Amino acid sequence: MNTGRTLFAQLIDHLPNHEFRKCVRRYDGNWRTRTFSCWDQFLCMAFAQLTFRESLRDIVACLRSLGHRLYHMGIRGTVSRSTLADANESRDWHIYSDFAHVLIGEARSLYLDEPFGVELANTVYALDSTTIELCMTLFPWAKYKRAQRAVKLHTLIDLRGNIPTFIRITPAQLHDVNILDQLMLEAGAFYVMDRGYLDFERLYRFTLDGAFFVTRARKDFRFRRLVSHAVDRSTGVQCDQTISLVSFYPAKSYPAPLRRIRYWDAQRGKRLVFLTNNFELPAAVVAALYRCRWQVELFFKWIKQHLRIKAFYGTSENAVKTQVWIAVCTYLLAAIVRKRLKVEANLCTILQILSVSLFEKTPINQALSLADTQLGDDGNHNQLTLFDF
């Protein structure tokens, strides 16, 4: 069925084109557009992500070298540097944000039963942010510090499959805790966060909405012990307490009891104190959930290594957000294809194969199956293993 079709064209077949057209119509993306549609722009930028292009000139030079094969890749318009730059500058980034959320829904349904290290039926999310530094001269709008420009990428990932479900791109000056106001909380789900999100007024909304949080306490944390529960110290749990807040403003903001768990991390030689509003899970499971929070840190490292979100093809805020959202779409597309085709290789290997064989006319199943017969590994390496299921 795929005879004579490039891997890129077969890959794009897994995108719901009708949903993309809905997103374009929602924001009038193709208004007064004659030769270079939003779909053309998306394909060019996805190509840049998959092949690690360095600049707009690099993208255009590579695409033009393909000649008539552009049409068979799905790119109908004429590709030029000025046209692509104008598209990134002027076409609403919400088009690609909305399309990414469509792909998020598809990816989460495919990874619904994926294990993540803790035997738990509930959905578990990890929340964190990463800062992307920018050039002061080229990005004057991205104010951070006096001698710095940067944006912050806030991400909530579903630990089943490490699928990003919530992304916000904000000025780096915005404190992480403010993102809690924008979350649509899911009853019964667990939200794992570091202590940068410790705000009792905002955390009380989790309790009111029937959601659970796991976070760490600050060193100056003041509380009153209500009940001490028996613990198994062999698991590393040193104490499990039901507490109430005693300081005036925290107690007013969070009037309900909390659970405090002190845990000794023997591997790191460090004592950790967790706070949660869940009183049912064993204390060792709560500690294990917090350990899984590290997956969001690995997610940030992974996308910075394997996608183009540190160097940008445009300098406006719209161009930056467009590129980030198309990078997310590319990541989700690779995750969807991996699951649909039942490829055992991790996403890093899949992207490496695609980057050098994107225009080969090979059935995609055959091309990606080569990743399953990888050379032996002595295990002595520093590569990220986030997607090695």
The per-residue pLDDT for range 91-130, each reduced to its tens digit, is 999 999 999 999 999 999 999 989 988 989 999 999 999 9
Same domain, yes or no: 256 and 327:
no
- Read off the pLDDT band of 55 (50, 70, 90): very high
- Count Cα neighbours of 112 within 13 Å in the Cβ-side half-sphere: 4
- C-alpha 199/C-alpha 218 separation (Å) is 11
Residue 322 lies in a domain: yes
- What average pLDDT does this structure show over 239-261? 96
Residue 330 lies in a domain: yes
Residue 219: give the domain boundaries: 194-280
**pLDDT at 156 > cutoff 90:** yes
**pLDDT at 1 > cutoff 50:** no
8 Å CB contact between 46 and 330:
yes
Q: Given this model, what pLDDT does residue 324 score?
A: 95
Q: Which residues contact 114 (CB under 8 A, 6 or more apart)?
A: 160, 161, 389
Same domain, yes or no: 37 and 92:
yes
**pLDDT at 346 > cutoff 90:** no
117 Cα distance to chain centroid: 19
State the burial class of residue 136 (Cβ atoms within 10 Å of its Cβ: 0-12, 13-18, 19+).
Answer: middle
- If one compares 40 and 385, the residue with the highest pLDDT of the two is 40
**pLDDT at 345 > cutoff 70:** yes
**pLDDT at 379 > cutoff 70:** no
Q: Given this model, what pLDDT does residue 3 score?
A: 56
Same domain, yes or no: 206 and 250:
yes
* Structural domain ending residue among the three candidates 280, 298, 332: 280
- What average pLDDT does this structure show over 259-284? 95
* Structural domain ending residue among the three candidates 236, 261, 280: 280
8 Å CB contact between 272 and 263:
yes
Same domain, yes or no: 87 and 13:
yes
Same domain, yes or no: 328 and 276:
no
Residue 129 lies in a domain: no
* 283-320 pLDDT per residue, tens: 999 999 999 999 999 999 888 888 888 889 999 999 99
* Count of domains observed in the chain: 2
Residue 120 lies in a domain: no
- Read off the pLDDT band of 372 (50, 70, 90): low
Residue 175 lies in a domain: no
Same domain, yes or no: 275 and 319:
no
CATH code: domain of residue 228: 3.30.1370
Same domain, yes or no: 17 and 90:
yes
Q: Given this model, what pLDDT does residue 378 score?
A: 44
Beta-strand pair 270-276/258-265: antiparallel
Q: Name which of 238, 226, 228 is nearest 263 in CA terms.
A: 238
State the burial class of residue 152 (Cβ atoms within 10 Å of its Cβ: 0-12, 13-18, 19+).
Answer: buried
- If one compares 353 and 382, the residue with the highest pLDDT of the two is 353
Q: Given this model, what pLDDT does residue 365 score?
A: 87
- What average pLDDT does this structure show over 191-217? 96
Q: How many CB atoms lie within 10 A of CB 147?
A: 6
Q: Which residues contact 164 (CB under 8 A, 6 or more apart)?
A: 104, 155, 156, 157, 158, 299, 328, 331, 332
Same domain, yes or no: 329 and 267:
no
Q: Name which of 330, 296, 223 is nearest 8 in CA terms.
A: 330
- C-alpha 50/C-alpha 307 separation (Å) is 8
Q: What is the largest CA-CA distance in the chain?
A: 74
Q: Given this model, what pLDDT does residue 376 score?
A: 43
- C-alpha 112/C-alpha 38 separation (Å) is 31
- What average pLDDT does this structure show over 146-159? 93
Beta partners for residue 331, in sequence order: none
Residue 145 lies in a domain: no
Same domain, yes or no: 254 and 211:
yes
Mean per-residue pLDDT of the chain: 90
- C-alpha 215/C-alpha 238 separation (Å) is 17
* 3-37 pLDDT per residue, tens: 578 899 999 999 999 999 999 999 999 998 888 99
* Structural domain ending residue among the three candidates 280, 307, 330: 280
Residue 116 lies in a domain: no
Same domain, yes or no: 319 and 276:
no
Q: Given this model, what pLDDT does residue 370 score?
A: 64
Residues in the chain: 389
- C-alpha 95/C-alpha 205 separation (Å) is 31
Residue 181 lies in a domain: no
189 Cα distance to chain centroid: 18
- What average pLDDT does this structure show over 132-145? 91
8 Å CB contact between 344 and 114:
no
